Amino acid sequence: MARRSTSSSTGRPTGTGPSGPRNRTPQPVRLRRRTFGDVVKAFLAFVVLLVLVVGIPGALAMKVGWPLPRSAPSMDWLSQPIDVQTFLNALTVVVWLAWAQFTACVLVEVKAAVSGVGLPGRVPGAGPSQLLARQLVAALLLVGATAASFTPGLSQLGHSLEGNQKGTVATAQATPGILAQQQEQAKSTAAALAEQAGHAAAQAEQGGSTATHGATKYYRIQPPEGRHHDSLWEIAQRHLGDGRRYKEIYELNKDRVQPDGSRLSEASLIRPGWIMEMPGDAHGGELVANPDAHVSPEVRQQIGDYAQTGDHAQHQEQGGGQHAGEDGATARIAVPAQRQAGDTATPAAQESGSHSSGHSFGLPEALLGSPLLAAGLLAALGRRRRQALWQSAFGAVGGRRGMEPPIPTGDAQDVQDALLVGADPDGVRLLDRSLRALAAALTAESRSLPVVYAAWLSHGDLHLQLAQPAGKPPAPWQLGQDQTFWTLSRADAERYEDTDAAAPYPGLVSLGTMDDSRLLLNLEAVPGIVSLSGREADRAAVFASVAAELATNGWSDRMTITLVGFGADLTPLAPNRLRHLDDVEALFETMEAETRQRRGALGAADHHSVLTGRTGPAQHTRWAPNLVLLATQPSAEDAVRLAELAADAARLGIGYLVGSESDDLPGAAWAMEITPDGRLLAPLLGLELQAQLLPAVQQRAVVELFVEADPERDPDGPTTTPPFLVDISEQGRPAVYARLVGPYEIIGLDTPDGERSPLLHEALALLLLHREGVHPRVLSSALWPRGVTEDVRDALLERLRGWLGTDPDGSARLRADSAGRLTLAKSVVSDLDVLRSLYYEATQGKGVDSRAVRGRLLTDALVLVRGPLLADRAEGRYRWLTHEIIDAQLPLLVADIGLALSAFHLEKDRAEKAIEALGAALRTAPADERLWNELLRATHATGDPDRLRALAADLVTRSGVRGLPPRTEALLDELLPTWRDGAAATG
Q: What percent of the chain stands above pLDDT 70? A: 74
Task: Output 826 or 96, whichever has higher pLDDT.
Answer: 826
Mean pLDDT to the nearest integer, 944-949 = 92
pLDDT of residue 526: 85
Q: What percent of the chain stands above pLDDT 90? A: 37
Q: State the virtual CA torsion across 276, 282, 284, 288 in degrees, nearest 10.
A: 50
Q: Give the burial string for 441-473 (b: 16+ CB within 10 Å, else e).
A: bbbeeeebbbbbbbbbbbbbbbbbbbbbbbeeb
Q: How many C-beta atoms lie closer than 10 Å to residue 11's C-beta?
A: 22
Task: Output 965 or 713, whichever has higher pLDDT.
Answer: 965
pLDDT of residue 636: 87
Among 826, 740, 821, 812, which residue's Cα sits nearest to residue 777?
A: 821
Judging by beta carbons within 10 Å of its beta carbon (0-12, 13-18, 19+), is residue 934 exposed, middle or buried?
buried
Instruction: Read off the pLDDT of residues 735-766 as tens digits, 9 standing for 90 and up.
Output: 999 999 999 999 999 988 778 899 999 999 99
pLDDT over threshold 80, residue 139: no
Instruction: Read off the pLDDT of residues 69-95 as tens digits, 9 standing for 90 and up.
Output: 665 666 665 566 666 667 677 777 888
Least confident of 61-65, 454-458, 927-931: 61-65
List the alpha helices (DSSP H) in 144-266: 145-148, 161-172, 189-205, 232-240, 246-253
Q: How is 104-164 classified by DSSP, letter by letter?
A: HHHHHHHHHHHH--SSPPPPTT-THHHHHHHHHHHHHHTT-HHHHTTS--GGGTT--HHHH
Q: Answer yes or no: are the C-beta atoms of 452 and 400 closer than 8 Å.
A: no
**572 to each of 551, 575, 586, 729, how far by Cα in Å?**
10, 6, 21, 43
> Could you tell me which residues come within 8 angstroms of residue 398 by beta carbon, excluding any fewer than 6 positions away?
715
Least confident of 63-72, 483-492, 626-635: 63-72
Q: How many C-beta atoms lie closer than 10 Å to residue 753's C-beta?
A: 7
Instruction: Read off the pLDDT of residues 267-310 as tens digits, 9 standing for 90 and up.
Output: 656 778 888 888 888 887 778 765 554 667 777 788 888 887 76
pLDDT of residue 572: 92
Q: Hey, which of 217-231, 635-649, 805-819, 874-888 has the most confident mean pLDDT? A: 805-819
The span from the CA of 392 to the CA of 398, in Å, is 8
> How far, in whole angstroms, is CA 567 from its chain's centroid?
19
pLDDT of residue 328: 30
pLDDT of residue 143: 55
Mean pLDDT to the nearest integer, 471-485 = 90
Instruction: Read off the pLDDT of residues 6-33 as tens digits, 9 standing for 90 and up.
Output: 333 333 333 333 333 333 333 333 334 4
The band of 165, judged by pLDDT with boundaries at 50, 70 and 90, is very low
Q: Answer yes or no: are the C-beta atoms of 273 and 468 closer than 8 Å.
A: no
The band of 609, judged by pLDDT with boundaries at 50, 70 and 90, is confident
pTM for the full predicted model: 0.66
**792 to each of 134, 345, 360, 452, 816, how far by Cα in Å?**
72, 19, 17, 42, 18
Instruction: Read off the pLDDT of residues 422-436 as tens digits, 9 standing for 90 and up.
Output: 999 999 999 999 999
Task: Output 83 or 179, whichever has higher pLDDT.
Answer: 83
pLDDT over threshold 70, residue 648: yes
List the beta bridge partners of residue 457: 462, 518
Q: Answer yes or no: are the C-beta atoms of 699 and 411 closer than 8 Å.
A: no
pLDDT of residue 82: 66
The band of 345, judged by pLDDT with boundaries at 50, 70 and 90, is very low
pLDDT of residue 57: 82
The span from the CA of 393 to the CA of 615, in Å, is 40
The band of 461, judged by pLDDT with boundaries at 50, 70 and 90, is very high
Q: How is 503-562 classified by DSSP, letter by letter?
A: -S-TTEEEEEEETTEEEEEEGGGSSSEEEEEE-HHHHHHHHHHHHHHHHH-SS-S--EEE
Q: How many C-beta atoms lie closer than 10 Å to residue 782's C-beta?
A: 22
pLDDT over threshold 50, residue 253: yes
List the beta bridge partners of residue 286: none
pLDDT of residue 205: 44
828-830 β-sheet, strand order: 745-747, 736-739, 828-830
The band of 719, judged by pLDDT with boundaries at 50, 70 and 90, is low
Under the phi-then-psi rule, with left for phi > 0, alpha for psi from -120 to 50, and beta for the rest, what region is 471?
Answer: left
Sign, Cα dihedral of 502, 505, 509, 514 = negative
Indicate the helix (H) or strand (E) that contains 300.
helix 297-307
Q: Answer yes or no: are the C-beta atoms of 876 and 931 closer than 8 Å.
A: no
Instruction: Read off the pLDDT of residues 821-841 as tens digits, 9 standing for 90 and up.
Output: 999 999 999 999 999 999 999
Task: Output 516 or 912, whichever has higher pLDDT.
Answer: 912
Among 873, 773, 866, which residue's Cα sits nearest to residue 820?
A: 773
Instruction: Read off the pLDDT of residues 567-580 as tens digits, 9 standing for 90 and up.
Output: 888 999 999 999 99
Least confident of 117-121, 723-727, 729-733: 117-121
> Could you tell me which residues come within 8 angstroms of residue 488 by beta carbon, excluding any fewer than 6 positions away?
434, 438, 461, 462, 476, 477, 478
pLDDT over threshold 80, residue 884: yes
Report how many helices (DSSP H) and strands (DSSP E) the chain contains, helices first: 33, 22
The span from the CA of 588 to the CA of 597, in Å, is 14
Give the largest CA-CA distance in the chain.
154
Q: Hey, which of 194-198, 609-613, 625-629, 882-886 has the most confident mean pLDDT? A: 625-629
The span from the CA of 873 to the CA of 884, in Å, is 16
Angle at 382 between CA 376 and CA 383, to 5 degrees: 90
pLDDT of residue 935: 95
Least confident of 172-176, 861-865, 940-944: 172-176
Least confident of 86-95, 509-518, 526-535: 86-95
The span from the CA of 682 to the CA of 686, in Å, is 6
The span from the CA of 487 to the CA of 552, in Å, is 25
Q: Answer yes or no: are the C-beta atoms of 626 and 653 closer than 8 Å.
A: yes
Q: Give the burial string for 363-373 (b: 16+ CB within 10 Å, else e).
A: bbbbbbbbbbb
Task: Determine how β-strand 736-739 pairs with β-strand 485-488.
Answer: unpaired
Q: What is the mean pLDDT of the chain?
A: 77
pLDDT of residue 35: 62
**725 to each of 528, 721, 754, 771, 873, how far by Cα in Å?**
58, 9, 34, 10, 26
The span from the CA of 949 to the CA of 34, in Å, is 95
Q: Answer yes or no: are the C-beta atoms of 346 and 422 closer than 8 Å.
A: yes
Terminal CA-CA length for the chain: 81
The span from the CA of 900 to the CA of 851, in Å, is 12
The band of 819, judged by pLDDT with boundaries at 50, 70 and 90, is confident
The band of 919, judged by pLDDT with boundaries at 50, 70 and 90, is very high
The band of 416, judged by pLDDT with boundaries at 50, 70 and 90, is very high
The band of 622, judged by pLDDT with boundaries at 50, 70 and 90, is low
Mean pLDDT to the nearest integer, 929-945 = 93
Q: Answer yes or no: are the C-beta atoms of 271 and 451 closer than 8 Å.
A: no
pLDDT over threshold 60, residue 882: yes
Least confident of 33-47, 167-181, 506-520, 645-659: 167-181
Mean pLDDT to the nearest integer, 809-820 = 91
Mean pLDDT to the nearest integer, 177-201 = 37
